[in-house]
Amino acid sequence: NAGVTQTPKFRILKIGQSMTLQCAQDMNHNYMYWYRQDPGMGLKLIYYSVGAGITDKGEVPNGYNVSRSTTEDFPLRLELAAPSQTSVYFCASSGASGSRGTDTQYFGPGTRLTVL
């Protein structure tokens, strides 16, 4: 198993540009999450999904959008990038199919995004 994979690893955007951060997992997990981590801070939840076709907002959703068309993929879309979105973005998944997502969260390696 590759676990949770994220692409790209690094990206520099100009203010106002848009991009999609990709996340995929091969563990058949129902639950998937997007977090951002700012320097010296804990992770903050942006969006999460409890299954294909179902997404919901986390603590800091403004400026982001997500979709979940398959169990495996959970892309995060940034529209009109702003310097405040400079951060490291982590995708995570948990819970085998049929579970209530009580299992351990497995994280991807992260995407380091800079908005100039």
Comparing CB distances to other proteins, the nearer of 59 and 79 is 59
9 to 68, contacts with other proteins by CB under 8 A? 31, 33, 35, 40-45, 48, 50, 56, 58-59
Comparing CB distances to other proteins, the nearer of 10 and 18 is 10
Residue 2 touching other proteins (CB under 8 A): no
SS3 assignment for 5-71: EEECCEEEECCCCCEEEEEEECCCEEEEEEEEECCCCCEEEEEEEEECCEEEECCCCCCEEECCCCC
Residue 74 touching other proteins (CB under 8 A): no
Among 90, 93, 113, 115, binds other proteins (CB under 8 A): 90
**CB of 82 within 8 A of CB of 94?**
no
A 10 A CB-CB count for 76 gives 22
Q: Measuring CA to CA, which residue among 9, 58, 3, 63 is closest to residue 35?
A: 58
Q: How far is the CB of 95 from other proteins (least distance, A)?
A: 11
Residue 113 touching other proteins (CB under 8 A): no
Residue 98 touching other proteins (CB under 8 A): no
Residue 4 touching other proteins (CB under 8 A): yes
